[in-house]
Chains A and B, each alone.
Chain A
Amino acid sequence: DIQLTQSPSFLSASVGDRVTITCRASQGISSYLAWYQQKPGKAPKLLIYAASTLQSGVPSRFSGSGSGTEFTLTISSLQPEDFATYYCQQLNSYPRVTFGPGTKVDIK
Chain B
Amino acid sequence: EVQLVESGGGLVKPGGSLRLSCAASGFTFSSYSMNWVRQAPGKGLEWVSSISSSSSYIYYADSVKGRFTISRDNAKNSLYLQMNSLRAEDTAVYYCAAMAFRGFDPWGQGTLVTVSS
Contact = CB atoms under 8 A, between A and B. Distances in A.
Q: How large, as a class, is the contact surface on chain B? A: 20 to 34
Contact of A43 (B33, B50, B59, B107): B107
B33 A91 contact: no
Contacts of A34: 102-104
Interface in A70-108: 87, 89, 91, 94-102
A91 B47 CA distance: 11
Q: How large, as a class, is the contact surface on chain A? A: 20 to 34
Interface of B: 33, 35, 44-47, 50, 57, 59, 61, 95, 99-105, 107-110
Interface of A: 32, 34, 36, 42-46, 48-50, 53, 55, 87, 89, 91, 94-102
24 contacts: A32-B102, A34-B104, A36-B104, A42-B109, A43-B95, A43-B108, A43-B109, A44-B104, A49-B101, A49-B102, A49-B103, A55-B105, A89-B103, A89-B104, A95-B33, A95-B47, A95-B50, A95-B99, A97-B35, A97-B104, A98-B47, A99-B46, A99-B47, A100-B44
